[in-house]
Amino acid sequence: MTTEQRTELMTVTAAQDLTVADALYHAVTLAGTIAANTSRIGGVLRYRASSGQQASLIYEGITKVMAGAAVTTLGYPLTVTASGWFIAASSGGASVGRALSAAASGDLIPAIVDFSNIVAWGGV
């Protein structure tokens, strides 16, 4: 079961259509586009928005995210990959949070996220 708890929100102007099903709970950039990696990432899309509208992003807290690959270990660090999907971080790669459950690709899972200070994960 997925959950959402204390979250910090901010808004950005959507620069592309974020009303499509593949956008919700994916990572979005500060420029209002679906994130392709951790560069200029703003947070997790909370509410859909059309291009030109304000989009709400969760930049810190416990929220739902879309897993883009299997995450096998509870608490494993997460990063962002193509199309805003969340995947297990690799050693030395940027970490934006931690998985609060194991997941298969395409699962909606709970995660702790923090986009205010993206750091490299040192590995196991």
Per-residue pLDDT reduced to its tens digit, 86-110: 999 988 888 999 999 999 999 999 9
Q: Is 61 left (phi over 0), alpha (psi -120 to 50) or beta?
A: left
The domains of the chain are located at 7-61, 64-120
User: How confident is the model over 74-95, as a mean pLDDT?
Assistant: 91
- pLDDT tens for 47-68 read 999 999 999 999 999 999 999 9
Owner of token pair 């030395």: 92
pTM, whole model, 2 decimals?
0.90
**Residue 91, pLDDT score:** 84
**Residue 49, pLDDT score:** 95
Q: Which long-range contacts (CB under 8 A, 24 or more apart) does 100-104 make?
A: 100/62, 100/74, 100/75, 101/74, 102/70, 102/71, 102/72, 102/73, 102/74, 103/67, 103/70, 103/71, 104/67, 104/70
Q: What does the alpha-carbon distance between residue 123 and residue 120 come to, in Å, rounded to a whole number?
A: 9
